[in-house]
Amino acid sequence: MSLDIDYYELLEVQRGADDATLKASYRKLAMQYHPDRNPGDAKAEARFKAINEAYDCLKDPQKRAAYDRFGKAAFQGGGPGGGGGGADFGDIGDIFESIFGSAFGGGGGQRQRGPARGADLRYDMEITLEDAFTGCTRDIQVDVAARCEPCDGRGAKPGTGTRRCPTCGGAGKVRAQQGFFMVERTCPTCQGAGEVIEDPCSNCGGDGRVEKRKTLTVSIPAGVDEGTRIRLSGEGEAGARGAAPGDLYIFLHLKRHALFEREGTTLFTRAPISFTTAALGGDIAIPGLDGSRHDIRIPAGIQSGKQLRHRGAGMPVLNGRGHGDLVIQIDVETPTKLTSEQRDLLEAFRKTETGEECPQSRGFFDRLKGMWEDLT
């Protein structure tokens, strides 16, 4: 026995009822008409089954939307007035895609006829900081599904042709009734090409593609950074049966450098200097990533941790003009191995100290002395 009653009427709720109202009404009615509470009552059993069917539909937002628009016909395999048993929601996603368009394609527009383009590929490449500074070219080898040369990617044996697909009539798509809707799908026979091969190519088996290792030259511009992506258009997988190829994406990774660190277009390095150079001043030479030499003037009295900026000696601007800066952090190194002569000279120097040579130290100890006096 089947009850052809409106789902909302079955659950005794209004069409605008929220989820909580639906659930509460369903629980009450399910308990009321449960077979265990109504042994031998065929009408109660039929009502119980209908209530479950109604709640199963209305608790699902997609199913409820379809029911609100088309009623039970949306879920009957034979369409309006057709035969078939209970609701079949297996292809509800296909139904909504046909009505509103694919979530990825969007807009519900016409799909392009023919096989899909080839897949995009990814290749990870490691380069040095010097390569990123100057730019370079690299040859790489990739294994791809490439266009079959004997059949020129058509999949048919040379000298033979194709014929219209008997399944889709050359449209590349087939339609099937899905309840109230007419659903359109890619033809399973020709895979969307609209044509079938009479005599497949013996080299590719009719696919139009063969596995191949090819060598590509990649041009890396100056200024690239970690994660920079380079696209080689059309160098991905070939499309089936002559469809457009995908792209190859090169993802760049930088090797750790022994001397420099990088932040954007700025290069950082640390330069240890002797305490005499820090006191008297001097010059140091920093090698550039392009082999050039950067002479850095150390001012007398420089303190450890001070950073010196050398303009225009950093990384080049990617696809632009100019360079960033080179920043050198000065680390004053205290000698740990002294000769007797050096020790005597330092002792003599200490005897001549007045405190004026190191104003920060003198200020610190003056403040420390003041604290002790306050405590006493």
Span 320-346, pLDDT tens digits: 889 999 999 999 999 999 999 999 999
SS3 157: coil
Q: Is 167 inside any structural domain?
A: no
- Token pair belonging to 125: 């490449």
pLDDT (0 to 100) of residue 362: 57
Q: Is 190 inside any structural domain?
A: no
Q: Are residues 266 and 312 in the same domain?
A: yes
Q: Are residues 124 and 245 in the same domain?
A: yes
Name the β-bridge partners of 162: 197
Domain extent for 304:
261-333
CA pair distance 34, 10, nearest whole angstrom: 14
Nearest to 312 by CA among 270, 267, 263, 269: 267
Q: Is 193 inside any structural domain?
A: no
Nearest to 246 by CA among 254, 231, 235: 235
Q: Are residues 252 and 121 in the same domain?
A: yes
Tell me the whole-structure pTM to 2 decimals. Answer: 0.59
Q: Are residues 130 and 211 in the same domain?
A: yes
Q: Are residues 230 and 252 in the same domain?
A: yes
Span 226-253, pLDDT tens digits: 999 999 999 999 887 778 899 999 999 9
Q: Is 253 left (phi over 0), alpha (psi -120 to 50) or beta?
A: beta
Q: Are residues 130 and 82 in the same domain?
A: no
| CATH code of the domain containing 307 | 2.60.260.20
Per-residue pLDDT of the chain (376 residues; tens, 9 = 90+): 446 788 999 999 998 888 888 988 988 998 898 877 888 888 888 898 889 888 888 888 778 888 887 777 666 543 433 333 333 443 444 434 444 444 333 444 444 555 678 889 999 999 999 999 999 999 999 998 898 989 888 888 888 878 888 888 888 888 876 666 777 887 877 777 788 888 888 888 888 888 889 999 999 999 999 999 999 999 999 887 778 899 999 999 999 999 999 999 999 999 999 999 999 999 999 999 999 999 999 999 999 999 999 999 999 999 888 999 999 999 999 999 999 999 999 999 999 988 787 777 655 556 666 666 666 6
- End-to-end CA distance of the chain, in Å? 103
Q: Is 118 inside any structural domain?
A: yes
Q: Are residues 250 and 118 in the same domain?
A: yes
pLDDT (0 to 100) of residue 324: 95
The helix or strand, by DSSP H or E, that contains position 33, with its residue range, turns out to be helix 19-33
In total, how many domains does the chain have? 4
Q: Are residues 349 and 271 in the same domain?
A: no
